[in-house]
Amino acid sequence: MPELPEVETIVRDLQKKVLGRAFIDVWTDFKKIIKSPKDFEEFKKEIKGKTIKKVKRRAKNILFELSNNKTLLIHQKLTGHLLLGKWQQKEGKWEATIPGPLKEDPMNKFLHLIFWLDNNQMLALSDLRKFAKVELLNKDTLEKELSSFGPEPLDKDFTFEKFKEVLDKKRKGKIKQVLMDQEVITGIGNIYSDEILWKAKIHPFKETKQLSDEEIKRIYNAMREILPKAIELGGESISNFRRISGERGYFDKERKIYRREGEKCSRCGTIIKRVKLASRSAHFCPGCQEL
């Protein structure tokens, strides 16, 4: 699933390309992707002619603030990513009209939702598994939907003291699980929890209540270093994620631990292990992340 760096990458790309543009039409071959309003024709009626005033992120949600004081919320879920370009239908399938990754990368070919913009561009959602969620919400409903999320880890006011405070409220649980709990802190998932804990030399199974202040500080510093670096590199494309241009992100060259089981740790040379943690995987180095 795209995590904070991938979603933030999409948002920053969109901010450069779609602000001030208006939706003129919308298509889907999977109406269940639209969760609100549930009637697709009503959704189409409400979206057409509306101008994009702002694009921002909250947790893993992409938010388009529109000229009718409503917000288009898109959560890309497991395999979804937004693309910007031009496509035409050939034999019932959408095909990009210009050469490059939009046309050539198979991960960009699962188009299930397309918006036409007023500058002849198209904003499309490619989603292999069709788990993505799209909603058009008024202010009150949006605030209610976003109310359960914890603080943003890269906000300027999210200090070490505030990080300690949110961990103190969630003293039960293994640190990897706590980092991925969106009510504790937003945007971190399987990839970056592994990378952060490796950087901090903390075992993913360590109980949060057992962490010292010095260990919490290492986790905080790792988080504040890795997440911005991943954004700078355009996210991680080891799986389905692509930028709006269809190109891959380049965090892969920085990936130290996630999906590197069986390889040597770049820090100490110990063989990296992968273990199950609830229904997820955790990657760690037994040599420098001792329990």
The residues annotated as belonging to the active site are 2-3, 60, 280
For residue 192, which phi and psi values (nearest 5 degrees)? -80, -25
Alpha-carbon distance of 45 to 138, in angstroms, equals 15
Tokens of 246: 């269809």
The runs of H, that is alpha helices, within 77-236 are 101-104, 139-146, 160-169, 175-180, 190-200, 213-232
DSSP class of residue 33? G
Alpha-carbon distance of 232 to 12, in angstroms, equals 11
- C-alpha triplet 187, 233, 288: angle, nearest 5°: 70
Return the residue matching tokens 């040597």.
264
